Structure 1
């Protein structure tokens, strides 16, 4: 793996996991030393993250992790609805029915309470979502659509963390994914798109509620900036 790819992968994971929080300063000299790369590959990695919208340049040698506020999340979901509803329709028309039937079965078997404190169960569920996304991309067979979906998913990893501590929402999300997979397997394009619409509506509502609930506890956290929140 090239040094720039390694630096990009590390920084991406740290941003998505919350290790590098919104507003965190990524000094060029400090980050290059920490990651064990020279400044040229580090600049390449930061350029890719900037193109992803995950960092922004504050000065010639200082980059900061961007924040996600309520307006950003709404905009992400506007794009997500357009892409994922279209993808669900296409998958129902083009996809491997057996593969999606197996995914529907796997979603039905999800145990969110499995593992210590349920952590293993939640991790297994998110891994299953990743498998579902891969199957969806393969079924759609449209490089332009799947490239756009990958960009949105890069931001969704950050956004999804806000809902991880809501057991009721996670349980509902499992059922919603099972219905989407089952609809695709049944080649019911209308149901697949509608189930996707309902899932995304519920997900957005839950995430915005999470932000509202967390804001009083962390009034100075830029990640919880509720600009534009009614």
Structure 2
């Protein structure tokens, strides 16, 4: 009798875990597709089709869609229709308003609490990053460097509330960054801006770090809005 109970309990524990893993897989795939643009704004995410495509049942798919809805990446147009959320100039301005508040505060705290040597090393990496932007993986490598820099700032700040808020912002920022990804001139300027921020953090100059962050975000917002309003503008390699 006890063996049967133990087996039943084990099964009960396994099913939610397996469903959670399926939900996580579905969420991760849909998130990447939304952020990359493979699933464009307005794309319909029909439960039956998406569950079959992703190889999961409808329950974990619904859980994944619920999480994406909480992230603001999908929305319900009707009880049975879920679509990828749009993103326009107003959304981007709003995103950058909260981004400025969070990142400028984080820069001040990181300058005070962070590892100066670590930020000095990152500043050195930014110093040479611009030269490799045109390499086959140059731009991907640069975005990976930014991710490491962001992680270093988060660790230095050591504030779970700020980190959680920034994760939400960055979830949307991936979509926004893609709009200016092929603007080489802007990327070169971004490299220099990140280098200045990293140097300020290495020198524990919170005022300079916050100001450099403010300038970087202002320039990034201007570039992204320009790319939306003037989509025909191309970079030096002829990409739109």
The answer to whether the superposition gives a TM-score over 0.5 is yes
1:39 corresponds to which of 32, 39, 58: 58
Which residue in 2 is equivalent to 1:143?
160
Q: Cα offset for 1:214?
A: 1.9
**More deviation, 54-63/195-204:** 54-63
1:88-128 residue CA offsets vs partner (Å, 9 max, x unmatched): 00000000001100000011111344423xxx111000000
Q: Does 2:150 correspond to 1:133?
A: yes
1:80 corresponds to which of 85, 99, 108: 99
Q: Does 2:114 correspond to 1:89?
A: no
**More deviation, 206-215/180-189:** 206-215
Q: Is the 8 A contact 1:16 1:157 kept in 2?
A: yes
Q: Is the 8 A contact 1:179 1:195 kept in 2?
A: yes
Which residue in 2 is equivalent to 1:155?
172
SS class of match (1:58): strand
Structure 2: runs of 5 or more not aligned? 1-19, 234-240
Q: Is the 8 A contact 1:112 1:171 kept in 2?
A: no
1:33-90 residue CA offsets vs partner (Å, 9 max, x unmatched): 0000000000000000000000001222221000110000000000000000000000
- Count of equivalent residues: 213
Which residue in 1 is equivalent to 2:203?
186
1:124-149 residue CA offsets vs partner (Å, 9 max, x unmatched): 00000000010010000000001000
What root-mean-square deviation, in Å, do the aligned CA atoms of Structure 1 and Structure 2 show? 1.3
Q: Is the 8 A contact 1:8 1:46 kept in 2?
A: yes
Q: Cα offset for 1:155?
A: 0.3
User: Residues 215 and 40 from structure 1, CA distance in 2 versus in 1: closer, same or farther, beyond 3 angstroms?
Assistant: farther
SS class of match (1:109): helix
Aligned counterparts of 1:147 and 1:97: Cα–Cα separation in 2: 24
2:226 corresponds to which of 204, 209, 216: 209
Return the TM-score normalized by structure 1.
Answer: 0.90
4+ long deviations beyond 3 Å: none
Which is higher, the Rg of structure 1 or of structure 2? 2
User: Residues 113 and 144 from structure 1, CA distance in 2 versus in 1: closer, same or farther, beyond 3 angstroms?
Assistant: closer
Q: Cα offset for 1:165?
A: 1.2
1:18-45 residue CA offsets vs partner (Å, 9 max, x unmatched): 0000000000110000000000000000
Q: Does 2:81 correspond to 1:51?
A: no
Which residue in 1 is equivalent to 2:34?
15
